[in-house]
Amino acid sequence: MPFELPPLPYAASALEPVIDEATMNLHHGKHHAAYVTNLNAALKDHANLAALSLDDLLRAVNTKVPEGIRAAVRNNAGGHSNHSMFWKIMRPSGGGGGGVPSPFAQALDQQLGGLEAFKAKFNDAGLKRFGSGWAWLVLRAGKLEVISTANQDSPIMEGLYPVMGNDVWEHAYYLKYQNRRGDYLSAWWNVVNWEEVARRYDAGMKS
Protein backbone atom coordinates (compact mmCIF):
# COMPACT_ATOMS: atom_id res chain seq x y z
CA MET A 1 0.00 0.00 0.00
CA PRO A 2 1.60 3.26 -1.10
CA PHE A 3 0.16 5.56 1.56
CA GLU A 4 0.29 4.93 5.30
CA LEU A 5 -1.28 6.45 8.40
CA PRO A 6 1.46 8.36 10.25
CA PRO A 7 1.53 7.84 14.02
CA LEU A 8 0.46 10.70 16.26
CA PRO A 9 3.61 12.54 17.41
CA TYR A 10 2.27 12.53 21.04
CA ALA A 11 -0.19 10.57 23.14
CA ALA A 12 -3.88 10.90 22.22
CA SER A 13 -4.45 12.53 25.61
CA ALA A 14 -1.59 15.04 25.17
CA LEU A 15 -3.74 17.90 23.87
CA GLU A 16 -6.18 17.78 26.81
CA PRO A 17 -8.07 19.84 27.83
CA VAL A 18 -8.19 21.67 24.48
CA ILE A 19 -8.80 18.51 22.45
CA ASP A 20 -10.07 15.51 24.38
CA GLU A 21 -8.56 12.04 24.11
CA ALA A 22 -11.71 10.42 22.67
CA THR A 23 -11.83 12.97 19.85
CA MET A 24 -8.15 12.40 19.08
CA ASN A 25 -8.54 8.62 18.99
CA LEU A 26 -11.53 8.78 16.66
CA HIS A 27 -10.09 11.58 14.54
CA HIS A 28 -6.72 9.93 13.96
CA GLY A 29 -7.53 6.24 14.31
CA LYS A 30 -10.83 6.23 12.42
CA HIS A 31 -11.24 9.35 10.24
CA HIS A 32 -7.65 9.83 9.09
CA ALA A 33 -7.17 6.07 8.81
CA ALA A 34 -10.21 5.86 6.54
CA TYR A 35 -8.82 8.54 4.21
CA VAL A 36 -5.64 6.49 3.83
CA THR A 37 -7.52 3.22 3.29
CA ASN A 38 -9.87 4.80 0.75
CA LEU A 39 -7.04 6.55 -1.08
CA ASN A 40 -5.13 3.30 -1.47
CA ALA A 41 -8.31 1.56 -2.65
CA ALA A 42 -8.95 4.28 -5.26
CA LEU A 43 -5.39 3.93 -6.59
CA LYS A 44 -5.37 0.12 -6.58
CA ASP A 45 -5.35 -0.15 -10.38
CA HIS A 46 -3.38 3.07 -11.01
CA ALA A 47 0.26 2.25 -10.24
CA ASN A 48 1.46 5.41 -12.02
CA LEU A 49 -0.55 7.61 -9.65
CA ALA A 50 0.25 5.51 -6.58
CA ALA A 51 3.94 6.12 -7.30
CA LEU A 52 3.55 9.92 -7.01
CA SER A 53 4.29 11.82 -3.84
CA LEU A 54 1.18 12.97 -2.01
CA ASP A 55 1.85 16.60 -2.98
CA ASP A 56 2.31 15.68 -6.66
CA LEU A 57 -0.89 13.64 -6.58
CA LEU A 58 -2.79 16.64 -5.21
CA ARG A 59 -1.33 18.96 -7.84
CA ALA A 60 -2.35 16.47 -10.56
CA VAL A 61 -5.87 15.84 -9.30
CA ASN A 62 -7.57 17.81 -12.09
CA THR A 63 -5.21 16.73 -14.85
CA LYS A 64 -3.66 13.28 -14.50
CA VAL A 65 -6.31 11.63 -12.31
CA PRO A 66 -9.06 9.95 -14.37
CA GLU A 67 -12.60 11.20 -13.78
CA GLY A 68 -13.77 7.85 -12.47
CA ILE A 69 -11.57 8.13 -9.38
CA ARG A 70 -11.13 11.90 -9.25
CA ALA A 71 -13.61 12.59 -6.45
CA ALA A 72 -12.24 9.73 -4.35
CA VAL A 73 -8.67 10.93 -4.83
CA ARG A 74 -9.58 14.57 -4.19
CA ASN A 75 -11.34 13.77 -0.92
CA ASN A 76 -9.01 11.11 0.41
CA ALA A 77 -5.62 12.42 -0.76
CA GLY A 78 -6.72 15.82 0.54
CA GLY A 79 -7.83 14.27 3.82
CA HIS A 80 -4.57 12.37 4.19
CA SER A 81 -2.44 15.43 3.45
CA ASN A 82 -4.45 17.83 5.59
CA HIS A 83 -4.47 15.57 8.64
CA SER A 84 -0.79 14.61 8.32
CA MET A 85 0.03 18.32 8.62
CA PHE A 86 -2.58 18.91 11.34
CA TRP A 87 -1.11 16.46 13.89
CA LYS A 88 2.36 17.93 13.46
CA ILE A 89 1.41 21.58 13.90
CA MET A 90 0.00 20.84 17.36
CA ARG A 91 1.79 20.07 20.61
CA PRO A 92 0.78 19.56 24.24
CA SER A 93 -0.86 22.60 25.78
CA GLY A 94 1.73 24.77 27.50
CA GLY A 95 4.51 22.51 26.28
CA GLY A 96 6.52 25.04 24.31
CA GLY A 97 6.19 28.61 25.39
CA GLY A 98 8.72 30.13 23.04
CA GLY A 99 6.29 32.34 21.12
CA VAL A 100 6.31 32.72 17.35
CA PRO A 101 9.77 32.45 15.78
CA SER A 102 11.02 34.86 13.09
CA PRO A 103 11.16 35.35 10.17
CA PHE A 104 7.62 33.95 10.29
CA ALA A 105 6.64 36.34 13.11
CA GLN A 106 7.98 39.28 11.13
CA ALA A 107 6.00 38.21 8.06
CA LEU A 108 2.82 38.02 10.18
CA ASP A 109 3.48 41.53 11.46
CA GLN A 110 4.19 43.01 8.06
CA GLN A 111 1.57 41.21 5.97
CA LEU A 112 -1.33 40.43 8.32
CA GLY A 113 -1.07 43.09 11.01
CA GLY A 114 0.46 40.89 13.69
CA LEU A 115 -0.37 37.70 15.56
CA GLU A 116 -3.64 38.80 17.15
CA ALA A 117 -5.04 40.23 13.91
CA PHE A 118 -4.03 37.03 12.13
CA LYS A 119 -5.74 34.84 14.73
CA ALA A 120 -8.96 36.85 14.43
CA LYS A 121 -8.93 36.56 10.65
CA PHE A 122 -8.18 32.84 10.76
CA ASN A 123 -10.95 32.18 13.32
CA ASP A 124 -13.36 34.17 11.17
CA ALA A 125 -12.47 32.06 8.13
CA GLY A 126 -13.12 28.92 10.16
CA LEU A 127 -16.41 30.18 11.55
CA LYS A 128 -17.70 31.27 8.15
CA ARG A 129 -16.84 28.01 6.39
CA PHE A 130 -20.33 26.56 5.92
CA GLY A 131 -20.49 22.86 6.64
CA SER A 132 -17.22 20.95 6.69
CA GLY A 133 -13.81 22.23 5.75
CA TRP A 134 -10.61 23.87 6.87
CA ALA A 135 -9.28 27.32 7.77
CA TRP A 136 -5.81 27.97 6.37
CA LEU A 137 -2.83 30.23 6.41
CA VAL A 138 -1.22 29.79 3.00
CA LEU A 139 1.55 31.21 0.91
CA ARG A 140 0.46 32.54 -2.46
CA ALA A 141 3.48 33.60 -4.49
CA GLY A 142 5.47 34.19 -1.33
CA LYS A 143 2.79 36.20 0.51
CA LEU A 144 0.73 35.09 3.50
CA GLU A 145 -3.02 34.83 3.03
CA VAL A 146 -5.90 33.45 5.13
CA ILE A 147 -8.38 31.28 3.24
CA SER A 148 -10.75 28.39 3.87
CA THR A 149 -11.52 25.31 1.82
CA ALA A 150 -14.55 23.02 1.65
CA ASN A 151 -14.54 19.35 2.59
CA GLN A 152 -10.99 17.95 2.40
CA ASP A 153 -9.78 20.20 -0.41
CA SER A 154 -6.11 21.03 0.01
CA PRO A 155 -4.53 24.41 -0.84
CA ILE A 156 -1.90 22.36 -2.69
CA MET A 157 -4.55 21.58 -5.33
CA GLU A 158 -4.71 25.31 -6.05
CA GLY A 159 -0.96 25.76 -6.25
CA LEU A 160 -0.81 27.30 -2.76
CA TYR A 161 1.49 26.29 0.10
CA PRO A 162 -0.30 25.44 3.38
CA VAL A 163 1.62 26.98 6.28
CA MET A 164 -0.98 25.86 8.83
CA GLY A 165 -4.61 24.78 8.92
CA ASN A 166 -7.33 24.01 11.41
CA ASP A 167 -9.93 21.32 10.85
CA VAL A 168 -13.48 22.66 11.26
CA TRP A 169 -15.30 19.42 10.48
CA GLU A 170 -17.66 18.55 13.32
CA HIS A 171 -15.64 15.37 13.89
CA ALA A 172 -12.76 17.59 15.05
CA TYR A 173 -14.64 19.19 17.95
CA TYR A 174 -18.21 18.01 18.42
CA LEU A 175 -17.70 15.61 21.36
CA LYS A 176 -16.33 18.38 23.55
CA TYR A 177 -17.61 21.61 22.02
CA GLN A 178 -20.87 20.43 20.39
CA ASN A 179 -22.11 23.26 18.16
CA ARG A 180 -19.69 25.84 19.60
CA ARG A 181 -17.20 25.95 16.74
CA GLY A 182 -16.06 29.41 17.78
CA ASP A 183 -15.03 28.15 21.22
CA TYR A 184 -13.03 25.35 19.63
CA LEU A 185 -11.32 27.78 17.24
CA SER A 186 -10.36 30.09 20.11
CA ALA A 187 -9.09 27.30 22.37
CA TRP A 188 -7.10 25.65 19.58
CA TRP A 189 -4.38 28.33 19.65
CA ASN A 190 -3.25 26.89 22.99
CA VAL A 191 -2.00 23.73 21.27
CA VAL A 192 -0.40 25.26 18.17
CA ASN A 193 3.22 24.22 17.69
CA TRP A 194 4.69 27.51 16.51
CA GLU A 195 8.14 26.04 15.95
CA GLU A 196 6.71 23.60 13.42
CA VAL A 197 4.52 26.27 11.79
CA ALA A 198 7.51 28.59 11.44
CA ARG A 199 9.55 25.72 10.00
CA ARG A 200 6.80 25.14 7.43
CA TYR A 201 6.78 28.86 6.58
CA ASP A 202 10.54 28.78 6.00
CA ALA A 203 10.22 25.64 3.84
CA GLY A 204 7.37 27.20 1.85
CA MET A 205 9.38 30.33 1.19
CA LYS A 206 12.20 28.19 -0.20
CA SER A 207 9.97 25.99 -2.36
Which residues lie below 8 Å from residue 26, measured CB to CB, with a gap of 6+?
Answer: 171, 175
Q: CB nearer to Mn ion: give 19 or 49.
A: 19
Applying CB under 5 A, the site for Mn ion has a residue count of 2
Q: CB nearer to Mn ion: give 169 or 177.
A: 169
Closest distance of CB 126 from Mn ion, Å: 13
d(CA 160, CA 193): 21
Q: Please choose, from the candidates 127, 125, 151, the residue with its C-alpha nearest in 3D space to the C-alpha of residue 136.
A: 125
Binding to Mn ion by CB under 5 A, coded x per residue (else -) over 156-185, reads -----------x-x----------------
Q: CB nearer to Mn ion: give 75 or 93.
A: 75
Closest distance of CB 180 from Mn ion, Å: 17
- 153 lies in the binding site for Mn ion (CB under 5 A): no
Closest distance of CB 62 from Mn ion, Å: 23
Q: What is the DSSP string of 147-197?
A: EEEETT--GGGGT-EEEEEEE-SGGGTHHHHTT-HHHHHHHHGGGB-HHHH
Q: Please choose, from the candidates 112, 205, 119, the residue with its C-alpha nearest in 3D space to the C-alpha of residue 163.
A: 205
Cβ-proximal residue to Mn ion, closest one: 167
- Binding residues for Mn ion, rule: CB under 5 A, are 167, 169
